[in-house]
Amino acid sequence: MKNPNTVVSTALASILAMSALGMASGAEAAEKNDMEKCYGVAKAGKNDCKTLSNACAGHAMTDNQKDAFIALPAGTCERISGGSLQAPAGM
């Protein structure tokens, strides 16, 4: 998949499917070994937890906000353009 939007859409669809099956929420799932926090790839309003600029999930102001994360299956984040496993400094 060469289109980063396709990769992000596929990752988000996977998360939604897991939620539908009764899996833990994204923030809780990120604490498990099979999930990881991926910073800088969430769509506006679709982040899983607080950021430097707000205290609630779902309140990222812009697409790809560097301090907003979503929980993804381990190994997925590093395959997404712009994704980072590290929080920006100050978080």
Domain ranges (residues) in the chain: 4-79
**pLDDT tens, position by position, for the chain (91 residues)?**
566 677 777 777 777 666 655 545 545 544 556 999 999 999 988 888 877 777 778 888 889 888 889 999 999 999 999 999 998 886 5
Q: Is there a contact between 80 and 6 (Cβ–Cβ < 8 Å)?
A: no
Residue whose tokens read 């899983």: 48
Rounded to whole angstroms, how far apart are CA atoms 31 and 29?
5
- Is 0.95 topped by the overall pTM? no
**Helical (H) or strand (E) element with 16:** helix 4-20
